[in-house]
Amino acid sequence: MSRGADRTAVIIEDDPDIRDLLEVVLRQAGFVTHAAGTGEEGVELVRTHDPLVATLDVSLPDIDGFEVARRIRAFSDAYVVMLTARADEIDTLMGLDAGADDYQTKPFRPRELRARIEAMLRRPRRAITASGSGAPPSLAPVVAPASPVQEADPGVISAGGLVIDVPARLVRVDGADVHLTRSEFDLLEGLASRIGRVVSKTELVRILWAEEYGTGTAVAEADRRSVEVHVANLRRKIGDSPSQPRWIHTVRGVGYRFAPTGA
Residue-level pLDDT, tens digit, the chain, 263 residues: 444 446 899 999 999 999 999 999 999 989 999 999 999 999 999 999 999 999 999 889 999 888 999 899 889 989 899 888 766 666 667 777 777 888 887 788 888 888 888 877 776 554 433 333 343 333 333 333 334 454 446 688 888 899 999 888 899 999 999 988 888 898 999 999 998 899 999 889 888 876 544 455 677 787 788 888 889 889 999 999 888 999 999 999 899 999 987 55
Residue 83: per-residue pLDDT:
87
What DSSP state is assigned to residue 85?
A: S
Residue 85: per-residue pLDDT:
76
Residue 50: per-residue pLDDT:
93
- Containing H/E element for 69? helix 65-73
Whether the pTM exceeds 0.85: the reply is: no
Residue 86: per-residue pLDDT:
67
- Tell me the Cα Rg of the chain: 19
Residue 199: per-residue pLDDT:
92
Residue 30: per-residue pLDDT:
92
Domains in the chain and their CATH numbers?
A: 7-121 (3.40.50.2300), 149-258 (1.10.10.10)
Residue 72: per-residue pLDDT:
93
Residue 2: per-residue pLDDT:
43
248 CB contacts (<8 Å, ≥6 apart)? 191, 231, 234, 235, 240, 256, 257, 258
Helix, strand, coil share of the chain (percent; to 5): 35, 20, 40
231 within 8 A of 181, measured Cβ to Cβ: no
CA dist., res. 189 & res. 154, Å (int): 14
Residue 154: per-residue pLDDT:
67
